[in-house]
């Protein structure tokens, strides 16, 4: 029996801090926020920045600590993902401030739900056992279901939330079933225990359990054929929630896939890499092809997300540290760029004009040149054209694939990138080549514009000097 001291809990400070912050935010909203909701918004932003600081304080760089009987892992990867999550959620809330106020959604509960979703992400990044994975997934998913339905009067949002919830519940059930099979075979819930339990030849039970887990992970990622909820949620949810669903949960999905498959079941990677390669190819194929047919920008971004998830999965398909590193880099880059894209939608929207349709961007270059320029940068980045950072992300994945001899997968990936380039280019074409008609002119909103500018500048800066982020990814996965 060891003595319990405060120092033992220090590595879990981000989560502890966030739980405290949730309580504080609830109380603050009741006492000070009801009359002036913008106050709650500002406090929420400050709390998130505080969370980033807490993460840095608790971090023990270069060391991996396993706490609470193996339930909780604190390592550099967790630190990086937590920092990124705090930062990205803060940016997401900043972008959606005006929208929430205009749509009367700026209530304390909204921020609390965002915070609990974030808590789920944090738990997942540090998950050391199947139980933690499940808790994290549920915490994240339940908060997101509620957020999608947050705009009570909106029927489309309610429908999207319903679909999301029903399918999500099935996926959770599948995940639990897979976990129970693995537990039955190995007698342990800890991921480290699983790693040692399954080192021999594959049994049928293991393959079944793995298949269920892969399906659940694919659902959370939104990979084909488990993607049905993605377009409806992206299109139906309030824009601020779509922004959230599109961004930070991708980090969580990466964390689940990494902790569960790469760390816990790395010994039997041969089995799940095959399953993932099918999912990845299908996602690339369907995501890109269906995206071409979309007229709604948010729905197009949903299919684009599906195809990008295909790329992330391809990183896992390699089954090597190099590939996981590429997947991590891709995930961070993708989330950063997608935040900017939704930020641009929010900047283009206003009272009575939600810029959701692609046609709403006609002639944007003459109505709002700086916004059009930023969107063009983000689109070229997502399409993977240098000098923007999206190019390096795709290159990194393809390189890791070629490295393990998956030449055909890499050829499929690049051909689908070319097809994908078409619908990103169409946005640029609509903005730059089409006449503006009588669509509204741009509005200043300088703070939002400035942060969005930084976001686009980051896509260019990290593209010119890709070493910065590439080295970070290499270091946290201990391949330095």
Partner 1 sequence: MTQYLLSTLIWLPIAGGFLTLLLGDGSRNLARWLSLGIAVATFAFSIPLYLGFDGSTAAFQFIERTAWITTFNADYSLGVDGIALPLILLTTFTTVLIVAAGWDVITERTAQYLGAFLILEGLMVGVFAAMDAMLFYFFWEAMLIPMFLIIGIWGGPRRVYATIKFFLYTFLGSVFMLIALIYMYLKTGDYSIAALQQLPLTATEQRLIFLAFLAAFAVKVPMFTITPDGSRELSWLVIALSLIAVVYIGFVALVQQDMKKLIAYSSIAHMGFVTLGAFLAYDIVANTGGVQGAALGIDGAMVQMISHGLVSGAMFLCVGVMYDRVHSRQISPYGGVINTMPKFGAFMVLFSMANAGLPATSGFVGEFMVILASFKANFWYAFAAGTTLILGAAYTLWLVKRVIFGPVGNDHVAALTDLNRREFAILAILAVAVLLLGLWPAPLLDVMRGSTHHLVEQMLSTKLPTP
The residues that touch partner 1, with contacts defined as CB under 8 A, are 369, 373, 380, 385-387, 391, 395-396, 398-399, 402-403, 407, 410-411, 414-415, 417-418, 421-422, 425, 428-429, 432-433, 466-467, 470-471, 474
Contact 169, 295 (CB under 8 A): no
Task: Report residue 71 as tokens.
Answer: 């339930």
Nearer to partner 1 by Cβ, of 212 and 380: the residue is: 380
Q: Which of residues 176 and 414 has its CB atom nearest to partner 1 in the complex?
A: 414
Integer angstrom CA distances of residue 46 from 105, 266, 295, 332, 430: 19, 39, 37, 22, 38
- In the complex, what is the shortest distance from the CB of residue 323 to partner 1, in angstroms, rounded to a whole number? 13
Q: How far is the CB of 227 from partner 1 (least distance, A)?
A: 25
Of 60 and 467, CB closest to partner 1: 467
Contacts with 31 (C-beta within 8 Å, 6 or more apart), sequence order: none
Provide the minimum distance between the beta carbon of 399 and partner 1 in the complex, in angstroms, as a whole number. 5
Cβ at position 47, least distance to partner 1 in Å:
35
Shortest Å distance, C-beta 364 to partner 1: 13
Residue number, 129 or 410, with CB nearest to partner 1: 410
Of 50 and 461, CB closest to partner 1: 461
Q: Minimum distance from CB of 470 to partner 1 (Å)?
A: 4
Count other Cβ atoms within 10 Å, centred on residue 438. 4
Task: Give the closest residue to 365 by CA, choosing from 308, 439, 280, 467.
Answer: 439
Q: Please give the Cα distance from 198 to 193 (Å, whole number).
A: 9
Please, what is the minimum distance in Å from the beta carbon of residue 414 to partner 1?
4
Task: Please state the closest distance from residue 340 (CB atom) to partner 1, in A.
Answer: 17
**Residues linked to residue 190 through DSSP beta bridges, in sequence order:** 129
| 103 vs 426, beta carbon nearer partner 1 | 426
Neighbours of 67 (CB within 10 A): 16
Q: Report the alpha-carbon distance of residue 85 to residue 477 in Å, rounded.
A: 18
CB contact at 8 A, 210 and 179: no
The DSSP bridge pattern shows strands 72-74 and 65-67 to be antiparallel
Q: Which residues, at least 6 apart from 34, have a Cβ–Cβ distance to it below 8 Å?
A: 108
10 Å CB burial of residue 75 (0-12, 13-18, 19+) is: buried
Q: Specify whether the CB–CB gap between 448 and 93 falls below 8 A.
A: no
Nearer to partner 1, 72 or 423 (CB): 423
SS3 65: strand
Q: Which is nearer to partner 1, 185 or 425 (CB)?
A: 425
């Amino acid at each position: 029996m060891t003595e319990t001291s405060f120092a033992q809990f220090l590595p879990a400070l981000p989560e502890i801090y966030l739980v405290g912050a949730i309580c504080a935010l609830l109380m603050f909203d009741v006492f000070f926020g009801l009359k002036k909701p913008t106050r709650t918004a500002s406090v929420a932003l400050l709390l998130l920045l505080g969370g980033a600081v807490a993460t840095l304080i608790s971090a023990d760089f270069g060391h991996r600590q396993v706490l609470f009987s193996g339930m909780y892992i604190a390592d550099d990867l967790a630190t990086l993902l937590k920092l990124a999550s705090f930062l990205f959620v803060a940016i997401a809330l900043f972008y959606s401030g005006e929208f929430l106020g205009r749509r009367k959604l700026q209530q304390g509960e909204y921020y609390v739900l965002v915070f609990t979703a974030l808590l789920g992400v944090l738990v997942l990044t540090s998950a050391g056992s199947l139980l933690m994975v499940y808790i994290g997934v549920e915490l994240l998913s339940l908060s997101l279901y509620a957020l999608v339905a947050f705009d009570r009067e909106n029927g489309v949002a309610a429908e999207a939330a319903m679909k999301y919830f029903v399918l999500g519940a099935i996926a959770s059930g599948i995940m639990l079933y897979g976990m129970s099979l693995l537990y039955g075979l190995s007698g342990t819930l800890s991921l480290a225990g699983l790693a040692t339990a399954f080192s021999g030849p594959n049994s049928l039970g293991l393959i079944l359990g793995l298949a269920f887990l892969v399906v659940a992970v694919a659902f959370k990622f939104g990979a084909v054929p488990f993607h049905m909820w993605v377009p409806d949620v992206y299109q139906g949810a309030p824009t601020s929630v779509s922004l959230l669903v599109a961004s930070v949960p991708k980090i969580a999905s990466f964390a689940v896939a990494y902790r569960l498959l790469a760390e816990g079941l790395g010994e039997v990677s041969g089995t799940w890499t095959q399953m993932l390669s099918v999912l990845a190819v299908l996602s690339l194929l369907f995501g890109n092809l269906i995206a071409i047919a979309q007229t709604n920008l948010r729905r197009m971004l949903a299919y684009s997300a599906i195809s990008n998830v295909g790329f992330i999965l391809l990183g896992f398909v390699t089954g090597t540290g190099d590939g996981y590193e590429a997947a991590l880099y891709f995930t961070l880059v993708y989330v950063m760029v997608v935040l900017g894209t939704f930020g641009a939608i929010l900047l283009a929207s206003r009272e009575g004009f939600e810029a959701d349709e692609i046609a709403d961007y006609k002639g944007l270059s003459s109505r709002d040149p700086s916004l059009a320029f930023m969107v063009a940068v983000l689109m070229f980045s997502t399409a993977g054209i240098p000098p923007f950072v999206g190019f390096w992300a795709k290159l990194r994945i393809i390189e890791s694939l070629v490295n393990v001899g998956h030449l055909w997968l890499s050829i499929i990936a690049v051909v689908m990138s070319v097809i994908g380039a078409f619908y990103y280019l169409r946005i640029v074409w609509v903005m730059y080549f089409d006449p503006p008609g009588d669509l509204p002119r741009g509005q200043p909103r300088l703070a939002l514009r400035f942060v969005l500018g930084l976001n686009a500048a980051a896509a260019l800066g990290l593209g010119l000097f890709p070493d910065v982020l590439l080295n970070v990814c290499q270091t946290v996965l201990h391949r330095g």
